[in-house]
Amino acid sequence: MIGRFVLRRLVAIVFISLAIVFFCTLGTELMHQSSGGISRLEFIPALGRALRGTRTYVTSLPRGTLGSVWLGEGRRRAPVPVISVLLDTYTKSMGLLVFSLAIAAVLGVAAGSVAAIWEGSILSTSVLTSTLLGVSLPSFFIALLLQVVEIIWYRRTGLRLVPVGGFGWDAHMVLPGLVLAARPLAQIARVTCVSMSEAAHQDFVRTAWAKGLSPKQIWGDHVLPNAAVSILTALGLSMRFSLGSLPVVEYFFGWPGLGSMLLTAIRARQLNLLVTLALALGVTFMIVNLILDLAYRFVDPRLRLES
């Protein structure tokens, strides 16, 4: 049953990937049309060119013959293979994304657990109230706020806490990682609190208390595992938020990743690069969703019967 479920999802991933390639190609074709609007007579030929472009891209992809793009400025401008650009930017973006989601998962589950264990207390209310800021504030505002705070701190003390921009697998990851983690952290904390609170009031938990089990056993062995599916779901949604914010965050912090390069490809109308980067983002998201769906079935055996 799990095998059929995986096969269906893989088939869906293939068709959705083809749709990503087609609509990216169509969007690029429409960008070349006049800015006064697209008429029906202009749209139909663009649709045909998009279909041909999709076929050309799909046949070129297995061979890795996606061409080159011109990158750099002035005398440093040189052709770079699209595959090389993809590998370089994808590694940088996924490293930043994994770092931010790890922060969000650890701190979010911890904050949500604290809020659930001390339900109704001032601490619980404070945690849930603070998560509203993470859910409500847009990424660009948090990025600007953190940069301004760092600059003001440096001017007043002469001490630099973390870099406000640039690339590096060191302190350069702190600010963009925190911005990407803000909304996922808040979402995971709220879902963890609600799920654990609901599980804590179930009959099997009351039975565990009646048996004299320790709070650590009850919350760790009984309550948290029953909230795991909801937490995994929140983690999957959090990745969607992070992927959506990735171009903005990378632009603000000068992180040379997939998101910022995607904006460059759109501005330069570099079709092969645009399609390749968009396809990489889409496939990554779908593969992660598939892994999470399999994890749901591992955590909750009841879901295996629905496969």
pLDDT for residue 255 is more than 90? yes
pLDDT value of position 35: 53
Same domain, 193 and 105: yes
Does residue 238 form part of some domain?
yes
Same domain, 180 and 62: no
Does residue 114 form part of some domain?
yes
Range of the structural domain that residue 33 is part of? 2-67
Among 20, 39, 67, residue at a domain's last position? 67
Does residue 72 form part of some domain?
no
- In this prediction, residues 147-157 reach a mean pLDDT of 90
Same domain, 59 and 198: no
- In this prediction, residues 296-305 reach a mean pLDDT of 63
Same domain, 167 and 259: yes
pLDDT value of position 68: 84
- In this prediction, residues 189-197 reach a mean pLDDT of 90
pLDDT tens for each residue of 32-67 = 665 555 656 667 788 888 899 899 999 988 887 788
Look up residue 75 and give its two tokens.
């005398």
Same domain, 39 and 154: no
Among 42, 67, 92, residue at a domain's last position? 67
Q: Are 262 and 96 in contact (CB under 8 A)?
A: no
- In this prediction, residues 155-178 reach a mean pLDDT of 90
Does residue 296 form part of some domain?
no
- In this prediction, residues 257-265 reach a mean pLDDT of 88
pLDDT for residue 307 is more than 60? no
Same domain, 30 and 177: no
Half-sphere exposure (Cβ direction) of 80: Cα atoms closer than 13 Å: 18
Q: Are 153 and 159 in contact (CB under 8 A)?
A: yes
Same domain, 24 and 109: no
- In this prediction, residues 72-92 reach a mean pLDDT of 85
Q: Cα–Cα distance between 158 and 84 in angstroms, integer? A: 40
Same domain, 254 and 149: yes
**Which has the higher per-residue pLDDT, 61 or 71?**
61
pLDDT for residue 205 is more than 60? yes
Q: Cα–Cα distance between 35 and 31 in angstroms, integer? A: 8
**What's the number of domains the chain is made of?**
2
Same domain, 119 and 41: no
- In this prediction, residues 196-211 reach a mean pLDDT of 83
Same domain, 238 and 118: yes
pLDDT value of position 102: 93
pLDDT value of position 40: 60
Percentage of residues in the chain with pLDDT exceeding 70? 93
Q: Which residues does residue 81 pair with via DSSP β-bridges, in sequence order? A: 68
pLDDT value of position 17: 94
- In this prediction, residues 149-173 reach a mean pLDDT of 90
Does residue 115 form part of some domain?
yes
pLDDT value of position 93: 94
- In this prediction, residues 76-85 reach a mean pLDDT of 85
pLDDT value of position 126: 87
pLDDT for residue 305 is more than 60? no
Same domain, 55 and 102: no
- The DSSP string of the chain is -HHHHHHHHHHHHHHHHHHHHHHHHHHHHHHTS-TT---HHHHHHHHHHHHHHHHHHHHHTTTT---EEEESSGGG-EEEEHHHHHHHHHHHHHHHHHHHHHHHHHHHHHHHHHHHHTTTSHHHHHHHHHHHHHHHS-HHHHHHHHHHHHHHHHHHHS---S-SSS--SSGGGHHHHHHHHHHHHHHHHHHHHHHHHHHHTSHHHHHHHHTT--HHHIIIIIIHHHHHHHHHHHHHHHHHHHHHHHHHHHHHHT--SHHHHHHHHHHHT-HHHHHHHHHHHHHHHHHHHHHHHHHHHHH-GGGGGG-
Same domain, 111 and 49: no
Does residue 298 form part of some domain?
no
pLDDT tens for each residue of 124-135 = 888 888 888 888
pLDDT band at 80 (very low <50, low <70, confident <90, very high): confident
**Which has the higher per-residue pLDDT, 294 or 74?**
294
- In this prediction, residues 263-286 reach a mean pLDDT of 88
pLDDT for residue 90 is more than 90? yes
Among 234, 251, 268, residue at a domain's last position? 268
Does residue 35 form part of some domain?
yes
- The CATH number of the domain where 164 resides is what? 1.10.3720.10
pLDDT for residue 253 is more than 80? yes
Does residue 186 form part of some domain?
yes
